[in-house]
Amino acid sequence: MSQQVTDKAKELARVISLSPEYISMRATEDAAGQDELLKGLFAQYDEIHRQVEDATLRKEPDFDKIGELSRELETVLEQIKAQPLYQALQKSRKAFSDMMAQVNAELSSVLNPGGSQGGCSGNCSACSGCS
């Protein structure tokens, strides 16, 4: 990779790291990582998930137990999703993801003009339009 491309990639990464979307996402991730209730719910979820995996991998699985654990898992997941901090985290992650999709779309439009819009895809193997 040329030094110019590397330098521009670093510059883009720096600009992204200063964006409100990235800053908000990192702040909500940090807050969620410090929240005792969420940490406890995630630990509970992980433990029940491990139990489901263990029960499923047994030579003779107890399907009633697996069903019971699966219902517990769903209950804990609903408790996680109900937490305002978790909802804020999901919202901030979506905002960042949407921003990155816009960045990627811009890169794609420059590198592959008209690609998904019906124009030139850049792949000449099945095309005779340019020659």
- CATH of residue 77's domain is 1.20.1500.10
pTM: 0.75
- Please answer whether residues 103 and 21 qualify as being in contact, where contact means their C-beta atoms are separated by less than 8 angstroms: no
Question: Could you tell me where the DSSP H helices lie in 1-131?
Answer: 3-17, 20-34, 36-57, 63-82, 84-111
Q: Is residue 122 part of a domain?
A: no
> Which segment of 2-6, 75-79, 87-91, 122-126 scores lowest on mean pLDDT?
122-126
- Domain-embedded: residue 75: yes
Residue 21 lies in a domain: yes
Question: How much is the pLDDT for 122?
Answer: 55
Q: Domain total for the chain?
A: 1
Domain hosting residue 28, numbered range: 3-92
What is the C-alpha separation between 97 and 91, in angstroms, rounded? 10
CA distance 47 to 73: 9
Instruction: Supply the pLDDT for residue 62.
Output: 93
Q: pLDDT tens digits for 1-55?
A: 799 999 999 999 999 999 999 999 999 999 999 999 999 999 999 999 999 999 9
Q: Give the pLDDT band of residue 112 (cuts 50, 70, 90).
A: confident
* Measured distance CA(49)–CA(11) in Å, rounded: 41
Q: Which helix (H) or strand (E) holds 35?
A: none
Query: In this structure, is residue 127 part of a structural domain?
Result: no
- Residue 19 belongs to some domain of the structure: yes
